[in-house]
Amino acid sequence: MLPNHPLFVEAILENKKVKVQYYSAPDSGVVDRTGAPLDYGPGAAGKAGDGMNRYWLLEYSNTSEARVVGLVPDQIVDLKVLGETFDPAALGVAAWPWAVARGPGLTP
């Protein structure tokens, strides 16, 4: 778990975007991405499937397509909560059994 884990959970509950620097094997180095935090937990069936807790986020990219990524804590170099918000209903992400409980209207 990251030292600023509570800030990630708060970002989920307050619909705030995060900026994350993490090691990406396909890129052979550290990348810097902005995304919408989705959850912290093992993820849905078919997503990772190894039972390890991950920081799940919808990563906005330079293309028109966003993608869901699950990052283990050891991959993450830095994580910051941004002041910019997002609309969970507009994410287009299918809900799974979230590990971080949400109130009404907070489910992506």
* Tens of pLDDT, residues 49-68: 677 899 999 998 766 677 88
Domain contains 38? yes
pTM for the model stands at 0.85
Region 2-7 average pLDDT: 93
Domain contains 73? yes
Strand ranges (DSSP E) for 16-62?
Answer: 16-24, 29-41, 54-60
Q: CA angle at residue 19 from 18 to 20, to 5 degrees?
A: 115
Going by pLDDT thresholds of 50, 70 and 90, the confidence category of residue 99 is confident
Task: Give the total number of structural domains in the chain.
Answer: 1
Q: What is the mean pLDDT of the chain?
A: 86
C-alpha dist (Å) from residue 90 to 19, 23, 64, 94: 19, 28, 14, 11
Structure tokens at 105: 């209207």
Domain contains 99? no
Going by pLDDT thresholds of 50, 70 and 90, the confidence category of residue 79 is very high
C-alpha dist (Å) from residue 98 to 40, 77, 95, 108: 8, 24, 7, 10
Going by pLDDT thresholds of 50, 70 and 90, the confidence category of residue 13 is very high
Q: pLDDT higher for 56 or 97? A: 56
Going by pLDDT thresholds of 50, 70 and 90, the confidence category of residue 48 is low
Domain contains 80? yes
Domain contains 97? no
State how far the Cα of 75 lies from the Cα of 102, in Å rounded to an integer: 26
State how far the Cα of 98 lies from the Cα of 38, in Å rounded to an integer: 8
